[in-house]
Structure 1
C-alpha cells in the first residue's frame, strides 16, 4: 500500500529551473492549427511565456487529461497567463492522428510525422504516455510532472507554473 506522500504529486518545480532544454528545436518550424492551417512557430508563440507540451497518442488513454487541459486552456485565457498547449503525437497513422487531434481542445499540434516529435520525445525522455512537460519560452523546464500537478491542483496549477515566468 502506498503511503500518503507517494499518492500526492510534488508541485515543487524549483528544482527544474536550472535545467534548460534547447528551444531552438522549434525555431523556423511550423505547427498545425485546429482549423488545419500550418503556421510559423515563431509567429504563433511570440507573445507566449509558457509552453505546455502534451505528449500523447490515440492508443494511450488520456480522456481525463484532455478534459483537464481543455479546462486549463479556458482558465489560461481568462487569466491571460500567456500559456500555450502543443500536442506532440506518437500516432503512427495520419487519420488516427487527425481524429485524435480533432477531439482535443483549441490548441496546436506538431504536424504528423514531423521529426520535431521525435526530437522532443528524446529531449524530454518521454517513455510513456500521456505526459505533460511545461517550459518557459526560453527553454527552461518548469516541470516534467505536469500531468501529476494538473491532476492534483486542477486549474490552480496555473498559479504554480505562472510564478516561474518572471524568474
Structure 2
C-alpha cells in the first residue's frame, strides 16, 4: 500500500477547520500515523473521550500523528458544532457514502472508535486507538508498532 491507499480511503482531500481542502498526501508518508476517529456529538462516551484525544493530539502532532474525524452525527449543524471542539481534520459531512465505507472497512459498530494506521503503508496498527491514548497518554511508545 502507498499514498494511493489513503487517497482511496479518504479521498484526494479532507477538510480543515475553515472547510478548506487539505490534500491527503500532505499528512501521510514515512513516520506518520493516521488516526481515523469515529464519533458523534450525541454520544456521551464520545464527548468524554474527545477532549482527552484533543490534548493527546496536540502533544503528538509534531511527532507525526494526524487524526481525521468521521462523523456519525445526524445533521450538518450537529457535525459543525461538535467539530468546533476538535483540532484535527475531518471527512466532509456531506460525504456520507465515504463514512459508511470507512465504517464497513474497519468494522466499526460502536463509537467512539479510533483506528490507527501506518501513514506510509496504510496497515492497521490497532483498532483500539482509544486504549492507546488511555494507556500511553504521553505517546512514549509512538508509533505503537
Q: TM-score, normalised by structure 1?
A: 0.73
In the TM superposition, residue 38 of structure 1 has moved relative to its aligned partner by 2.1
Q: Which residue number in structure 1 is paired with residue 49 of structure 2?
A: 65
> Given the superposition, is the C-alpha separation of residues 34 and 45 from structure 1 closer, same or farther in structure 2, using an over 3 Å criterion?
farther
Q: For 1:116 and 1:23, how far apart are their aligned partners in 2?
A: 12
- Please list every run of 5 or more consecutive structure 2 residues that lacks an aligned counterpart in the other structure: none
Residue deviations 1:108-134, cap 9 Å, x none? 000003122111111100000111110
Q: For 1:24 and 1:37, how far apart are their aligned partners in 2?
A: 17
Q: TM-score, normalised by structure 2?
A: 0.83
Say which of 26, 44, 52 aligns to 2:9: 26
In the TM superposition, residue 64 of structure 1 has moved relative to its aligned partner by 2.7
Q: For 2:132 and 2:27, how far apart are their aligned partners in 1?
A: 26
Matches within 5 A, 1:21-60: 23-26=6-9, 28-45=11-28, 49-60=32-43
Backbone CA RMSD of aligned residues: 2.1
- Please list every run of 5 or more consecutive structure 1 residues that lacks an aligned counterpart in the other structure: 1-21
SS at match of 1:55: strand
Q: For 1:94 and 1:142, how far apart are their aligned partners in 2?
A: 31
> Given the superposition, is the C-alpha separation of residues 48 and 161 from structure 1 closer, same or farther in structure 2, using an over 3 Å criterion?
closer
Q: For 1:52 and 1:131, how far apart are their aligned partners in 2?
A: 10
Q: Which residue number in structure 2 is paired with residue 6 of structure 1?
A: none
Q: For 1:146 and 1:163, how far apart are their aligned partners in 2?
A: 10
Tell which structure's C-alpha radius of gyration is larger. Answer: 1
Query: Is residue 124 of structure 1 aligned with residue 106 of structure 2?
Result: yes
